[in-house]
């Protein structure tokens, strides 16, 4: 960086730090279906103390915000009794203050790892408490969110987030010359999808875990016309031609599919040899069309309905992977996994050994690697063993000393085992019996499953009713056993290692940008986008506060410029010229024109 540029960056940081000490604005969730633009102050102790202070440069709207907006403090990540939560987790920020010895310094541009806690914490202090929340950026904090102008983070937060399995809280960006702010703000959805694909696994002919989307696979995106599915497909397509999927099925409304036919991404895949099949979700022959060229090795569902889950189960290949991406709108919807009768073993000892080996768990929180066998600190449940005391004893005797055990009756435990408390979360569950009896036992125990738990229906011959809420995020449980027809992975809890991929070598998502606004217009933008559910990315510029919400076209920009203050009109008019010269597609140059109209340097031109 040149000396004048470095000086300009420090001056800009000083100006922002001064502004951070004054009352400023942010977009907050204040109740169910209530989004407000409010004034706020950071705590008095923030400036000059040991905290991190940051200024937000902007934030992309994410569809997953909708669940928190509807549920407010009924949402697992929103603290009970909260009066305001700062929204926004797809954000790019500048560091204004950093504790001594920090890995980031004043003036650094950073993306923030949105997942923060694998256990309940106090979101003000980043410390574990029993009545806390699974805190995350944009869902849990008053003083931290992509849609407030200035943010405060406690000094100990980076170490805490790392200890929770999410890696680095901050990741410095290394933009290319043409990289836009919006493409960098896509680091979170990129990481979410990149991590999701990294966790996908099948089991090969040698019984080994094979990670990632298999080369030359058949894949399906159910309700796949939305932004996150297209980000995922962009990543799936970023491989050599010989590793591309053979077939990609996508379902959606006819109007969205017609629009998709024009996407450069779809044209490119077809030109490279992938058969892309777009299927109207209302087509009565949808299952036949989704299996015309073979069943799918991987199926992603996006905000699934019950119908979507039923379609997924119908089209999965044996041994494939169902990815319940982003959970379901209704968290109580069921993924119904059909389990065949279990193998017949020559002895109960062989049965126990084989079923213990069939269990598998994440090696660590958010670690895609899995290991076979029961958990390293096992808390094991046994259900459906009535009248089979010898069989149960064979399982109990296989457990290591110190294992905690839950049984349905007052079964005496062998020496060395510990009776589990009633509220113990179970890492491994073995369920005997078949049919409805086994299904009911599973339903009763499902809410007591620990993250990364393993469940084995040791007799099989049932349909396991897996609630969507229990299958969301990669560290949720697995159904294990030789009679399992396919495997489950889910939305990634974004890890910093995956965000670095986008921060260091950005993929351009400019083609997805369909609307922008300034901070003041965020409530209007979110209301409109929520009502219409258009495809694409929608970004708010925090510094360009009074920029109106406008769709991406030069005509829309010019129309919006009429009657506006001089700086807004100038910014929109100059940006419209750039859109004219670039086929109406977003670009770094469009951003630079907007910033120039406001008399501000583009943030990436200071680094």
Q: Tell me the CATH architecture of domain 1-173.
A: Alpha-Beta Complex (3.90)
CA distance linking residue 244 with residue 236, whole number of Å: 7
Which residues does 362 contact at the CB level (< 8 Å), separation at least 6?
Answer: 368, 369, 370, 451, 452, 474, 475
Residue 290's H or E segment, with its range, is none
Where b means 16+ CB within 10 Å and e means fewer, 511-532 reads bbbbbbbbbbbbbebbebbbee
Residue 119 has pLDDT above 80, yes or no: yes
Whole-number average pLDDT of the chain: 93
pLDDT tier at 32 (50, 70, 90 boundaries)? very high
Residue 9 has pLDDT above 70, yes or no: no
Mean pLDDT, residues 512-517 taken together? 96
Which residues does 586 contact at the CB level (< 8 Å), separation at least 6?
Answer: 180, 182, 510, 511, 513, 552, 579
HEC string of 441-462? HHHHHHHHEEEEEEEEECCEEE
pLDDT the model gives residue 303: 81
CA distance linking residue 2 with residue 6, whole number of Å: 6
* 191-335 to CATH, choices 3.40.50.720, 3.30.460.10, 3.60.21.10, 3.30.70.20: 3.40.50.720
Q: What is the pTM of this model?
A: 0.87
Determine phi and psi for 301, rounding to 5 degrees: -105, 140
pLDDT the model gives residue 2: 47
| Contact indicator for 127, 520 with CB cutoff of 8 Å | no
Digit-coded pLDDT (tens) for 209-241: 999 999 999 999 999 998 999 999 999 999 999
Digit-coded pLDDT (tens) for 274-316: 999 999 999 999 999 999 999 999 999 988 999 999 999 999 9
Domain with CATH 3.90.180.10 in the chain: 1-173
CA distance linking residue 390 with residue 394, whole number of Å: 6
pLDDT tier at 48 (50, 70, 90 boundaries)? confident
pLDDT tier at 1 (50, 70, 90 boundaries)? very low
Share of the chain above pLDDT 70, in %: 98
Q: Tell me the CATH architecture of domain 343-458.
A: 3-Layer(aba) Sandwich (3.40)
């Amino acid at each position: 960086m040149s000396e004048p540029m470095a000086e300009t960056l420090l001056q800009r940081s000083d100006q922002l730090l001064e502004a951070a000490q004054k009352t400023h604005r942010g977009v907050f969730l204040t109740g169910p279906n209530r989004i407000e633009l409010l004034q706020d102050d950071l705590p008095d102790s923030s400036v000059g103390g040991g905290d991190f202070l940051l200024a937000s440069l902007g934030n992309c709207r994410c569809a997953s915000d909708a669940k928190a907006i509807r549920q407010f403090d009924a949402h697992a990540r929103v603290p009970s009794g909260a009066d305001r939560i700062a929204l926004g987790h797809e954000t790019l920020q500048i560091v204004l203050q950093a504790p001594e010895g920090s890995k980031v310094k004043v003036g650094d541009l950073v993306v923030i790892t949105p997942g923060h806690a694998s256990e309940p914490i106090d979101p003000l202090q980043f410390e574990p408490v029993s009545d806390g929340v699974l805190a995350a950026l944009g869902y849990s904090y008053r003083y931290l969110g992509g849609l407030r102008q200035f943010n405060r983070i406690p000094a100990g937060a980076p170490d805490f987030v790392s200890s929770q399995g999410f890696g680095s809280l901050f990741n410095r960006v290394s933009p290319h010359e043409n990289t836009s702010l919006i493409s960098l703000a896509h680091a979170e959805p990129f990481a979410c999808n990149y991590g999701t694909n990294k966790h996908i696994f099948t089991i090969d002919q040698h019984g080994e875990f094979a990670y990632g989307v298999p080369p030359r696979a058949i894949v399906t995106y159910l309700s796949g016309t939305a932004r996150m599915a297209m980000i995922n497909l962009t990543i799936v397509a970023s491989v050599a031609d010989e590793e591309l999927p053979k077939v990609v099925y996508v379902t959606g409304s006819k109007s969205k599919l017609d629009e998709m036919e024009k996407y450069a991404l779809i044209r490119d895949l077809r030109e490279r040899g992938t058969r892309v099949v777009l299927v109207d979700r209302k087509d009565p022959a949808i299952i036949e069309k989704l299996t015309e060229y073979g069943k799918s090795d991987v199926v992603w569902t996006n905000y699934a309905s019950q119908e979507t889950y039923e379609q997924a189960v119908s089209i999965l290949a044996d041994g494939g992977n169902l990815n319940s991406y982003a959970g379901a709108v209704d968290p109580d919807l069921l993924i119904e996994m059909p389990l065949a009768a279990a193998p017949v073993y020559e002895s109960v000892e062989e049965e126990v050994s084989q079923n213990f080996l069939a269990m598998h768990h994440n090696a660590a929180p958010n670690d895609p690697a899995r290991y076979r066998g029961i958990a390293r600190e096992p808390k094991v449940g046994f259900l459906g063993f009535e009248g089979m005391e010898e069989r149960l004893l064979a399982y109990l005797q296989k457990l290591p000393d110190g294992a905690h055990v839950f049984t349905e009756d007052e079964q005496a435990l062998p020496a060395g085992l510990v009776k589990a408390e009633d509220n113990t979360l179970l890492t491994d569950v073995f369920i005997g019996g078949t049919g409805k009896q086994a299904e009911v036992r599973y339903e009763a125990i499902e809410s007591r499953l620990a993250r990364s738990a393993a469940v084995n229906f040791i007799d099989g011959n049932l349909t396991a009713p897996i609630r969507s809420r229990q299958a969301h995020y990669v560290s949720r449980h697995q159904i294990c056993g030789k009679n399992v027809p396919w495997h489950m992975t889910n939305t990634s809890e974004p890890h910093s290692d995956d965000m670095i991929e986008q921060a260091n070598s950005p993929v351009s998502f400019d083609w997805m940008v369909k609307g922008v606004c300034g901070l003041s217009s965020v409530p209007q933008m979110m209301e409109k986008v929520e009502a219409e559910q258009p495809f694409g990315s929608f970004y708010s510029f925090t510094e360009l506060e009074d920029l109106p919400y406008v769709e991406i076209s030069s005509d829309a920009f010019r129309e919006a410029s009429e009657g506006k203050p001089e700086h807004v009109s100038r910014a929109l008019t100059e940006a419209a010229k750039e859109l004219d010269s670039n086929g109406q597609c977003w670009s770094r140059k469009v951003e630079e024109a907007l910033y120039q109209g406001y008399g501000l340097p583009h943030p990436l031109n200071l680094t």
